[in-house]
Structure 1
């Protein structure tokens, strides 16, 4: 007799977002966030790897009001599978302030991509991390990249640190802009000289390469306030200042350690970047070029 599969649940975000000391410039963008449910309106995928607490569009809007962020990029979450309804709904309700990154399955067609583009999607994400299913089918990966190239999209790569060295030649061969999530999830305790981070720096010399200097709470080895992650963000921002993005990663699915407060994360970004010009590039100029270039 088949046993019912147990799906783990993950913690919800800190509900008491602190108002950050740093006030971002007009047009600032949270370039990596999610919406979850509500599950009775936007059901979670039966084959999902985790079940999150509901984190709907209205809660995301409240977060951004507190943080002083005017725009966002919703990265479609794997817990909703390839059903893009929840993300497209949030984009449609945003009045042009939100763009999105999709997740697709093997049945996706050019017509599907055209519909997603019309709905505000500008990129496609592939998970390589083991707890979310591991390596995708690489023939499918290459097919999707060729399908989205005419649309001017990019591909988002969610990697584990140990994957970036063996995948470096595959990533370097990508012909469209590609974005590395969460600084490739390197481990801060292994230092900036670790092979995975050095490989990431090498990849960032490619003019098609972008990186998100968010997820400091994910790479930290010391826990809150996650300051041991600052040297990694600083090096990336120094190397490729025009191709760096930042986002909250709200509502922080599958955090194993300390749940961050999003106000503190924005202040941590301000500490990572040396001056207001650098902060404006990361929060305003860079996401505008990648997501609002049409």
Structure 2
């Protein structure tokens, strides 16, 4: 008798891309170009005529796992303002060994202002994610960027014990590299997360960056927030930047501090954050 060997199952992978161009139109910050494909979508809540354009990125696949790809490309013309966020927390599920790939490119021309404020990324146990944030901005433009990560859902008794996460930031202003940041952890993560030199056992953390001509003037207000909130962190200023890092015991505590910190840095919070 001959036994047949089943072919390996090829799992369907999610792929999504969004492109948004923002330009001045009749006194408004308006959508000039829009492209969306795969599981990528953009929604635009109604705002006041003179308010910054608000855009919400949606991943219709409901989350990412190994082999999935999602890319966003945002371009603001000179003098425009926009606030970008996501509809919900992005969930990165357990992988079969391959990596999910997320890339965001932000182009902010002279005199434009962009707030990149996605909701938290949740890493489930066994998740594998490689993420890149690439920014090209003008000397007089303004960028407020934030990325927050939850290591499992603490309220559900989840924790992150294994997996991979690599997060890369590159910010160029006037063509000059002004900020580069790399975060990487892989393998057996429990001991690494608990180390004093890492997260001290915290299950949530965030990086916040303000790049603006007046960034240094926001430092005192930002530090006052950190001195009065239930999260551990710090913020510094250099070369027209304010850079802050926070850790917290859970996502709710982290969100409370982030809301106050982003406001202190002059941020305009997306309405979906309040829902």
Q: TM-score, normalised by structure 2?
A: 0.31
Of structures 1 and 2, the larger Rg is shown by 2
Structure with greater contact order relative to length (CA < 8 Å, sep ≥ 6):
1
* Larger relative helix fraction: 1
Q: TM-score, normalised by structure 1?
A: 0.30
Hey, which of these two has a bigger chunk of strand by percent? 2
